[in-house]
Amino acid sequence: MPEAGQISVQVCYAASPESIHLISLVLPTPATVQDAIEQSGLMSICPELQISTVKTGVFGKLKELSWELHAGDRVEIYRKLLADPMEARRRRARKQAK
């Protein structure tokens, strides 16, 4: 339970569909997206993470590393897509049409 001057947040990163990390943290306020990622320890767990190049968000909305967090926020770290979503959708539609 956070004390006065602290917030509770979560940091989520799916390194792959089989490897999903969800870490709960209590941070002093004010705290940013970058603070949460650094305090989560994910960069040592997933060495491929480069904080300067990843896209981040809060509850599915893109946010900069400097975005100030609020109590209960879920910070999400997005990995690069393996396939273009539009092309994947077209392939599925062609497959279903056959």
Domain hosting 60: range is 6-97
Token readout for 56 is 């981040």
Predicted pLDDT of residue 1: 61
Q: How confident is the model over 8-43, as pLDDT tens digits?
A: 999 999 887 788 899 999 999 999 999 999 999 988
Predicted pLDDT of residue 47: 84
39 falls within a domain? yes
CA-CA distance, 36 to 30, in Å (whole number)?
Answer: 11
Predicted pLDDT of residue 37: 94
CATH number for the domain that contains residue 61: 3.10.20.30
1 falls within a domain? no
Taking the CA atoms of 30, 36, 40 and 45 in sequence, report the sign of the dihedral they define: negative
CA-CA distance, 27 to 39, in Å (whole number)?
Answer: 8
Predicted pLDDT of residue 11: 96
92 falls within a domain? yes
**Residue 36: which of 56, 62, 60 has the closest Cα?**
56
Predicted pLDDT of residue 2: 67
Mean pLDDT (the chain) is 89
Considering only CA atoms, give the Rg of the chain.
16
More confident site: 15 or 83? 15
Q: Using 50, 70 and 90 to split pLDDT, how confident is the model at 52?
A: confident
Predicted pLDDT of residue 69: 96
57 falls within a domain? yes
93 falls within a domain? yes
What is the tally of structural domains in the chain? Answer: 1
